[in-house]
Amino acid sequence: MSAEKPGDSAAAAPELSPLLKTALERLGDRVLEHHSARGDDRIHVARESILETARILRDDPELSFDLLLDVTAIDYLGQPDDFETKLRVWDRNSASMRRQPQRRHELVLPPRGPHPRFAVVYHLTSTKRAHRLRIKCRLPEDDPKIASLTPLWPAANWLERETWDLYGIVFEGHPDPRRIYLYEEFVGHPLRKDYAKQGEQPIQEYVGPGAKEPRRPH
Amino acid sequence: MSDPERKNPAAPIEGNNAAALEELHTPPMRLQFGPSHPATHGTVKITLDLEGERVVWSDVEVGYLHRGFEKECETGYYYQNIPYTDRLNYSSPILNNTGYCMAVEKLFGIATPERCNHIRVIGGELSRMADHMLCIGASAMELAAFTPMLYLIEGRELLLDMIDSLCGGRVTTNFVRIGGISADMPENFPEFARPRLDRALKLFEDADKLLTENPVFRRRMEGTGYLSSEDLIAWGVTGPMLRAGGVPYDIRRVHPYLVYGELDFDVPVGRHSDNFDRYLVRLEEFRQSRRMILQCLDRMPGGPVDADDPRVRWPGKGRVFNRMEELIDQFKLVTEGGMPPAGEVYHAVEAANGELGFYIVSDGTGKPWKCRCRAPSFSNISPLAKMITGGQLADVVPTFGMINMIGGECDR
Amino acid sequence: MAVQVVNVRRPAATFSSAKPWLAILKGMWVSTRHFLGNLGLFLRGRQDFAIHFPEQRLVQPPALRGMPVLARMADGKERCVACGLCEWACPTSCITIYPAETADEVERYPEIFDIDMSRCMFCGLCEEACPEEAIIMSRQLEIASYTRAGSLWHKADLLVPVEQLKTRTDYIRRNYER
């Protein structure tokens, strides 16, 4: 139900929810696309204008999105948004796969498409007005950088650390860009589609206190 | 005795102590609190820098229970991920089941029958009651009050018995299915449940009597862990913690789902936004949950418990055994999964600790392209470093207890 | 619909701060009442405060999901036809089936049917997926073993006479009938 597709715009026009109407009015041409499907409203913005957009959404009295629920990313890996084509990336770790353990690190990856690979997704809600909005920004694979929202919401701090950890999205201006779940020596970002589910990491030699002492037998 | 005005524990130490500290200045002591500390009910590492008993700097590290829930979901069919959601918040599993299944139902566009919704509310509220009992009991035990913990665990056992009779598992429930529930309520469930609910309430009241007016408990809870309501919202905190700060944001009230819009219940809010108010909000929510269960039992409608939708619900066993079409249907549904239309949804339910949201991106196949869990514990614990820095070391324990961080949900 | 926002009642701070011994006495009365009640029950001969495990067992509800087992028919053979649906539905891939052919009317049977009980999470999806009522969640919960190899259960260990599974098969037929 993209507003930019000619075939759908007729169907999308009457569905424009009151929230989207207000948001489009306030944000103007910062909104690249807007969707309203299954009761969820979402807007697409360019990554350059994310900080500005978020500030308007937070400070405008009619929108007043004061609660940042979630920051995450999607790895589309050559897929267009909304998935017009269906591709299978890998088979699941099924019993047949377990019979061939040598194949478990293999991945069947689809060809890279022309679309930007990542999308960063923000979920906002308002404790006063009780509406929700989703913001999406597409990021290319070779330069996955976006401005951090930590100055606006401190809640973004940990959520962006998690997104960096699992997807490798760089948040510029983040005060504490560490991994949050995994250890610092971890290679790769596990929620990317090209990271095998059964992928193994090199064993890190422990160098902390007591490293030289003999190992206790199990 | 108890000083209700002690809003800011970070206030500097007054009088001649300050001069003494200045004179005896030593570098702050680094204390590693966790990852598995007897006074925290969750695996989290808190690094504290102490000057005497005061925390001058702190850092919270999570991730000790990270199991790759989202990666696992991407490689399983929609129906296969329901057991994994039990393991998110393992003290209130049915709420997680409900949240996930409702998100997938929203993706499919399925409406579940009334009886199913009522049973889901009963299961969910039982889970919430069990969660609050465990939270209060464990927090009290960490503050050295052992007896309330025993009463609350006994009451929680009664609630788990009810959950057990509903779905055959006490903690790993796997109860809710996409478009329905795994099995209908047993016929004698109302007669089974009512005396147990009364007994659980009685035990809960006893724990309340032991704790609420106890001067030691109050001195450790009052005024500690303070965070203003603006800060709570900015840090993304939801659930009882946010409501204790005076913000009546409860998804059951703001975006009613299932049958919450038709039930009669109160949303308790606090005023002081400290640990004691969080405790009181949980006490009141327990009573409201019991009220909701009794209402649901009274108004339980008849009819089927599963949506009549062949895309998601597997056909009945009798027909699978005896008829060819249903057998083929069963094979297709198990080996391909139900295929939702491509698209993305976000659906949130009010879990025991706050807003539990599932953001599911579908590419039109039987497996989700992405299944994101917005865990309340993760956002709730992120301001912990801010809350404890500047306070006393002893305040870390009640603050952490009242956040009720559940490792499985926070680390996923 | 009547959802109200109420303020929690915070007991006055002065009460317990002025007379802390009163609150402590009240708490002691609660635990004394519990003690006397339990003592009375004990003197009247109630013995169910604890369950002495191997001799006594908990009464489990009919919905209980124990370990998955294979139903054995009266002729000593399994009901399973090795279709592989349980293997497919299992979220943790703990079932391994190698099918083989037979001259019977069912034509197929599992030559190897292994369940790795250290991976199994008792979710019951295999039972729901089974089109033959051949794999059934029994009431068996004691599956500990001394070795890792001991938690891999083979077909011969898994076969249970179908009469012993009657509680569960009744439950399935009643509840999975839509």
Domains along chain A with CATH numbers: 6-172 (3.30.460.80)
From the CA of A172, how many Å to the nearest CA of chain B?
A: 19
Q: Do B268 and C8 touch (CB under 8 A)?
A: yes
| Rounded distance between C-alpha atoms, residue A107 and residue A113, angstroms | 17
* Residue B393, domain extent: 69-411
Q: What is the CATH number of the domain that holds B131?
A: 1.10.645.10
Measured CA to CA, the distance from residue B397 to residue B220 in angstroms comes to 9
Span of A16-30, A178-192, B5-19, B117-131 with lowest mean pLDDT = B5-19
Average pLDDT over residues A88-92: 41
pLDDT digits (tens, 9 = 90+) for C153-174: 888 888 888 888 888 888 888 7
Q: Is residue B6 domain-resident?
A: no
Which pLDDT score is estimated for B293? Answer: 92
What is the model's pLDDT at position A218? 45
Q: What count of CB pairs under 8 Å joins A to C?
A: 10
Residue B30 maps to a domain? yes
Give me the pLDDT at residue A10, please.
41
C56 touches chain B (CB under 8 A): no
Rounded to the nearest integer, the mean pLDDT of chain A is: 75
State the DSSP string of C45-61.
T--TTS--TTTS-----
- Confidence grade of residue B5 (pLDDT, cut at 50, 70, 90): very low
pLDDT of residue B25: 65
Task: Please list every residue in chain A whose beta carbon sits closer than 8 Å to the beta carbon of residue B345.
Answer: 37-38, 40
Chains in contact with chain A (at least 3 beta-carbon pairs closer than 8 A): B, C
The verdict on residue B256 lying in a domain is yes
**How many other C-beta atoms are found inside a 10 Å radius of the C-beta of residue B321?**
15
Average per-residue pLDDT for chain B: 85
Q: How many CB atoms are closer than 10 A to CB B252?
A: 21
Q: Do B63 and A182 touch (CB under 8 A)?
A: yes
What is the rounded CA–CA span in Å between residue B390 and residue A213?
Answer: 38
Q: Which of A66, A74, A159 sits opposite B370 (nearest CB)?
A: A74
Query: Are residue B236 and residue B324 in the same domain, yes or no?
Result: yes
B81 and B204 within one domain: yes
Q: Which residues of A touch C (CB under 8 A)?
A: 93-95, 98
Residue B280, chain C, CB below 8 Å: the answer is yes
What is the C-alpha to C-alpha distance for residues B199 and B253, in angstroms, rounded to an integer?
28
B249 close contact with A: CB closer than 8 A: yes
What mean pLDDT comes out for the span B353-373?
87
Please report residues of C whose CB lies closer than 8 A to that of A95: 87, 93, 95-97
Contact B283 C131 (CB under 8 A): no
Q: Which residues of B touch C31 (CB under 8 A)?
A: 147, 210
Q: How many residues does chain B have?
A: 412
Task: Please give the pLDDT value at position C24.
Answer: 82
What part of B 25-64 touches A (C-beta under 8 Å)?
62-63
Residue B255 within a domain: yes
Enumerate the residues of chain A whose CB falls inside 8 A of the CB of residue B382.
Answer: 154-155, 157-158
> Do B34 and B91 belong to one domain?
no
Closest approach of chain B CAs to the CA of A28, in angstroms?
Answer: 24
Q: What is the pLDDT of residue A122?
A: 92
- With both helix axes pointing from N to C terminus, report the angle between B146-167 and B189-211 in degrees, rounded to the nearest 10: 160
User: Is the pLDDT reported for residue C73 higher than 80?
Assistant: yes
Report the residue from B184, B269, B327 with minimal CB separation from C8: B269
Which residue from C minimizes the CA distance to B216? Answer: C20
Q: With an 8 Å Cβ cutoff, is B241 touching chain A?
A: no
For chain C, give every domain's residue range: 19-43, 68-175
B125 burial type by CB count under 10 A (0-12 exposed, 13-18 middle, 19+ buried): buried
A93 contacts in chain C (CB < 8 Å): 93
Residue B395 has pLDDT above 80, yes or no: yes
In a domain, B15, yes or no: no
Answer for the pair C98, C84: CB distance below 8 angstroms, yes or no.
no
For residues B148 and B137, what is the distance between their CA atoms, to the nearest angstrom? 6
Residues C94-133: tens digit of each pLDDT: 888 888 888 877 788 888 888 988 888 888 888 888 888 8
CA neighbor of A89 nearest in space, from A71, A67, A111 = A111
- Quick one: residue B15, left, alpha or beta (phi over 0 = left, psi -120 to 50 = alpha)? left
For residue A166, what are its two tokens? Answer: 């699992």
CB A178 within 8 A of CB A202: no
Question: A-chain residues within 8 Å CB-CB of B369?
Answer: 74, 79, 83
C97, closest residue in chain A (CA to CA): A95
Q: Which of residues 56-75 of B touch C (CB under 8 A)?
A: none
Chain C CA closest to residue B177: C125
Set of chain C residues whose Cβ sits within 8 Å of the Cβ of B313: 178
CA distance B15 to B6: 17
Domain boundary among B16, B39, B61: B61
Contact flag A98-C87 (C-beta cutoff 8 Å): no
Ranking A93-97, B32-36, B75-79 by mean pLDDT, the lowest is: A93-97
Q: B346: Cβ–Cβ under 8 A, 6 or more apart, which residues?
A: A40, A123, A132, A134, B103, B357, B358, B359, B360, B374
Same domain, residue pair B57 and B79: no
Residue B321 falls inside a structural domain: yes
Decide if B1 touches C, using CB distance below 8 A.
Answer: yes
The minimum CA-CA distance between C82 and chain B, rounded to whole Å, is 13
Q: Which of the four pLDDT bands, split at 50, 70 and 90, describes residue A100?
A: low
Is residue B340 over pLDDT 80? yes
pLDDT over 70 (residue C14): no
Q: Is residue B222 domain-shared with residue B140, that is, in the same domain?
A: yes
Cα–Cα distance for residue pair B200/C175, rounded to 1 Å: 29
Task: Kindly state the percentage of chain C with pLDDT values over 90.
Answer: 1
Q: Which chain A residue shows the shortest CA-CA distance from B234?
A: A153
Residue B12 lies in a domain: no
Q: Is there a single domain that holds both residue B97 and residue B47?
A: no
Q: What is the DSSP string of B292-339?
A: HHHHHHHT---S-SS---TTTSPPPHHHHHH-HHHHHHHHHHHHH---
Long-range contacts of B148-152 (CB under 8 A, 24+ apart): B148/B206, B148/B207, B148/B210, B148/B211, B151/B203, B151/B204, B151/B206, B151/B207, B151/B210, B151/C34, B152/B203, B152/B204, B152/B207
Residue B378 to residue A182, Cβ atoms within 8 A: no
* Token representation of residue A210: 């007591």
pLDDT, position B13:
52
The answer to whether C136 faces chain B, any CB pair under 8 Å, is no
Output DSSP code: residue B170.
S
A13, pLDDT greater than 70: no
Q: List the subunits that have 3+ CB pairs under 8 angstroms with B.
A: A, C
User: Hey, are the CB atoms on B359 and A72 less than 8 Å from each other?
Assistant: yes
Distance (Å) from the alpha carbon of B187 to chain A's nearest alpha carbon: 36
**Of residues B276, B361, B306, the one with CA closest to residue B70:** B361
Residue B150 pLDDT greater than 70, yes or no: yes
Q: Structural domain tally of chain B?
A: 2
Residue B14 lies in a domain: no
From the CA of C18, how many Å to the nearest CA of chain A?
39
Same domain, B350 and B261: yes
* B320-326 mean pLDDT: 80
Beta bridge partners of B392: B54
Residue B139, φ and ψ in degrees, nearest 5: -65, -40
User: Which residues on B lie below 8 Å from A130 (Cβ)?
Assistant: 254-255
Please indicate, yes or no, whether residues B304 and B216 belong to a single structural domain of this protein.
yes
Residues B33-39, mean pLDDT to the nearest whole number: 81
Mutate to test the interface with B, among C24, C90, C106, C178 (most CBs of B within 10 A): C178
Q: Residue B324's closest chain C neighbor by CA? A: C131
A104 is written with which tokens? 């478990």
Beta pairing partners, B31: B48
Residue from B6, B119, B213 whose CB has the most chain C CBs within 10 Å, to mutate = B213
What is the average per-residue pLDDT within A8-32? 69
Q: Is B226 on the interface with A (CB under 8 A)?
A: no
Locate the chain A residue with the closest alpha carbon to C95. A95
Shortest distance, CA B14 to any CA of chain A (angstroms): 32
Q: What does the pLDDT read at residue B100?
A: 92
- CB within 8 Å: A123 and B233: no
Phi-psi region of B320 (alpha: psi -120 to 50; beta: other; left: phi over 0): alpha
C50–chain B Cβ distance below 8 A for any pair:
no
Specify whether B125 is located in the same domain as B51.
no
* Bigger pLDDT: B33 vs A16: B33
CATH number for C68-175: choose from 1.10.4080.10, 3.30.70.3270, 3.30.310.50, 3.30.70.2740.
3.30.70.3270
Above 60 in pLDDT, residue B179?
A: yes
Q: What pLDDT shows up at residue B23? A: 62
Predicted pLDDT at A71? 92
B54 shares its domain with B84: no
Contact present, A133 and A42 (Cβ < 8 Å): yes
Sheet holding B54-61, edge to edge: B29-33, B45-51, B54-61
* Residues contacting B144, CB < 8 A, separation 6+: B216
> Nearest C-alpha of chain B: how many angstroms from A69?
6
- Tell me how far apart the alpha carbons of residues C48 and B142 are, in angstroms, rounded to a whole number: 29
- Residue A111's φ and ψ, nearest 5 degrees, are -70, 150
Instruction: Tell me what pLDDT residue A11 has.
Output: 43
State whether A38 and B343 contact (CB < 8 Å): yes
Q: C36 in contact with B at a CB cutoff of 8 Å?
A: no
- Residues from chain B contacting residue C81 (CB–CB below 8 Å): none
Two structure tokens written together for C127 = 């039972």
Which residue among C87, C93, C95 sits closest to A93, beta carbon to beta carbon?
A: C93
Per-residue pLDDT of A172-195, as tens digits, reads 888 888 888 888 778 888 888 878
| Mean pLDDT value of segment A157-175 | 90
**Taken in order B359, B362, B367, B369, is the CA torsion positive or negative?**
negative
Residues B192 and B121 in one domain: yes
